[in-house]
Amino acid sequence: MFTGIVTDIGTIRAMERRGDLRARIGTGYDTSGIEIGASIACDGVCLTVVSLGPDWFDVDISAETVSKTTIGAAGSNSGWTEGHRVNLERALKVGDELGGHIVSGHVDGVAEIVAMEDEGDSTRVTFRAPEALARFVAPKGSVALNGTSLTVNEVAGGDFGINLIPHTRQVTTWGDVTVGDRVNLEIDTLARYVARLQDWG
Per-residue model confidence as pLDDT tens digits over 56-72: 999 999 999 999 999 98
Q: What is the pTM of this model?
A: 0.92
pLDDT tens across 11-56, in order? 999 999 888 899 999 999 999 999 999 999 999 999 999 999 999 9
Distance CA 184, CA 145 (A): 5
Residue-level pLDDT at 19: 82
Distance CA 85, CA 170 (A): 13
Ordered domains of the chain (ranges, CATH): 8-90 (2.40.30.20), 109-200 (2.40.30.20)
**Residue at 137: amino acid letter:** V
Q: Which residues contact 17 (CB under 8 A, 6 or more apart)?
A: none
